[in-house]
């Protein structure tokens, strides 16, 4: 069913009955994506004396503890509090949840032993568009991304100038299908994070980065309405569920 939306002075239609979920569910198995040298997350019933919080073992409810790291174990959204000395929560950064977004596909460029996503590749893909959110699919787009163990793989990353370019054209929310916008081992420089958030000079309090998404091939490049939802964690990052709606 089509619904007409008014957003930032623009009118368009979407079909809310056809969501396109680009998050990766967290599961306590080796099929869960992993990064930053962490083991898989754990989900297990609470045990108190002879009582186990599992219906199949006699309890009236299933009652699990979940242990995971937002940055290492799946789709997550973070704010500049991820790299700041002082505490800043992603809950404070994300106050509204619908944004006009552009899905783009980019092929990282080889540079010595690295693969770089350049400013030029963004400029070509956007072709003058200035969306509130950008959703980056790196090529090749393999199903392996949904369960990949990324540690020690030297994944592709954004050049500092590419992150700066996105900030300068007004992108507020950056989503990517990699564990980080920065190089895995960069001696703590975090150049892309700092360029996008304009940190430490004048941090962008209302800008977010979402990592470890997966964009199926059926989601074509183009304009979408993005619903970016986070869990209410008082933390620099939270597990999140970005959902797209095709603009009709």
Tell me, yes or no, if the pTM score tops 0.95: yes
For residue 54, tell me if it sits in a domain: no
3-class secondary structure for the chain? CEEEEEECCEEEEEECCCCEECCCCCCCCCCCCECCCCCCCEEEECEECCEECCHHHCCCCCCEEEECCCCCCCCEEECHHHCCCCCCCHHHHCCCCEEEEEEEEECCEEECCEEEECHHHHHHHHCCCCCCEEEEEECCCCHHHHCCECCCCCCCEECHHHHHHHHHCCCCEEEECCCCCCCCCCCCCCHHHHHHHCCCCCCCCCCEEEECCCCCCCCCCEEEEEEEEECCCCCCEEEEEEEEEEEC
- The predicted structure's pLDDT at residue 1: 76
Q: Could you tell me the mean pLDDT of each successive run of 10 residues in the chain, 248 residues long? A: 87 95 96 97 98 98 98 98 97 96 98 97 98 98 98 98 98 98 98 98 98 98 98 97 96
- Domain of 218 in residue numbering reads as 2-24+70-246
- The predicted structure's pLDDT at residue 8: 85
- The predicted structure's pLDDT at residue 43: 98
For residue 37, tell me if it sits in a domain: no
For residue 84, tell me if it sits in a domain: yes
For residue 63, tell me if it sits in a domain: no
For residue 157, tell me if it sits in a domain: yes
* CATH value at residue 137: 3.50.30.50
Token reading at 84: 């700041």
- The predicted structure's pLDDT at residue 85: 96
For residue 64, tell me if it sits in a domain: no
* Total structural domains within the chain: 1
For residue 118, tell me if it sits in a domain: yes
Q: Provide the residue count of the chain.
A: 248
For residue 79, tell me if it sits in a domain: yes
């Amino acid at each position: 069913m089509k619904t007409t939306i008014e957003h930032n002075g623009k009118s368009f239609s979407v079909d809310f009955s056809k969501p396109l979920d680009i998050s990766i569910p967290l599961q306590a198995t080796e099929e869960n994506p992993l990064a930053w040298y962490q083991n898989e997350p754990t989900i297990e019933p609470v045990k108190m004396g002879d009582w186990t919080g599992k219906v199949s073992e006699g309890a009236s409810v299933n009652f699990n503890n979940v242990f995971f790291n937002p940055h290492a174990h799946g789709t997550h959204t973070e704010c500049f509090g991820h790299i700041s000395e002082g505490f800043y929560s992603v809950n404070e950064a994300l106050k509204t949840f619908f944004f006009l977004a552009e899905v783009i596909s980019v092929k990282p460029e080889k540079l010595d032993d690295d693969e770089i996503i350049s400013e030029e590749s963004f400029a070509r893909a956007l072709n003058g568009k200035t969306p509130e959110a950008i959703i980056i699919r790196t090529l090749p787009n393999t199903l392996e991304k949904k369960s990949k163990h990324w540690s020690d793989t030297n994944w592709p990353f954004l050049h500092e100038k590419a992150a700066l370019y996105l900030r300068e054209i007004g992108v507020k929310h950056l989503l990517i299908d990699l564990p980080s916008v920065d190089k895995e081992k960069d001696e703590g420089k975090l150049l892309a994070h700092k360029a996008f958030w304009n940190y430490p000079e004048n941090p962008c309090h209302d800008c977010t980065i979402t990592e470890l998404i997966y964009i199926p091939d059926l989601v074509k490049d183009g304009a979408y309405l993005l619903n970016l939802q986070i869990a209410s964690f008082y933390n620099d990052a939270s597990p999140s569920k970005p959902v797209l709606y095709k603009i009709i």
